[in-house]
Amino acid sequence: MSLPGLLADYGYIAVFIGCLLEGETILVLAGYAAQQGLLSLPVVVALAFVGGTLGDQGFFFIGRRYGVALLRRFPSFTNAALRVNRLLLRHHAWLIVGVRFMYGLRIPGPIVIGMSDVPAARFLAFNVLGAAIWAVLVTGVGYVFGQSLHWLMADLVKYEEAGVLVIIGVAVLSLVMHRLRARNR
């Protein structure tokens, strides 16, 4: 099966599932695919927004429901959670919006925020705002990247599939390296 065929069959599902979790790499690639005409830019942005919002809401409620058990299981995080809670009381709006842009905090950030005193409705409001900004910016980076490549290389079509495969390979390798480093720490 060709790359355009794979993207047509699974691209939107990959964007949604990827954005439930970390999502940046998938979203940049989807922006690039949208620039190439393989995916619809508005659909990619909408799926990223919905997936990003739902993912962070889910992690928030995991923190709300299981936060105490997580702290019992990992007592070394207690002081950090207390410090984050104090920061949240003063700067929760910026932290909720910005946590999705902080590398490595996309999943633990909402969990810790869920363990705090921030009301769920307030988290939802700023989470929606953050997801909207994130979906447009990260997809836009991929789209602009694709446009720039197109301008730089007039015969990009010959190298398109290889380029996307290299980008995917580098992204997967980076993710694996990050996970291994995190596990070793």
Domain locations along the chain = 3-153
DSSP state of 71: H
Residue 150 pLDDT: 61
In a 10 Å sphere around its CB, with 0-12 CB exposed, 13-18 middle and 19+ buried, how is residue 77 labelled?
middle
C-alpha span between 111 and 129 (Å, rounded): 18
* In the chain, beta strands by DSSP E: none
**Spatial CA neighbour of 44 closest among 58, 33, 55, 53:** 33
Q: What is the pLDDT of residues 120-178, one digit of tens each?
A: 999 999 999 999 999 999 999 989 887 776 665 555 455 667 777 778 888 888 888 88
Helix count (H) and strand count (E) of the chain? 7, 0
Determine if the pTM surpasses 0.85: no
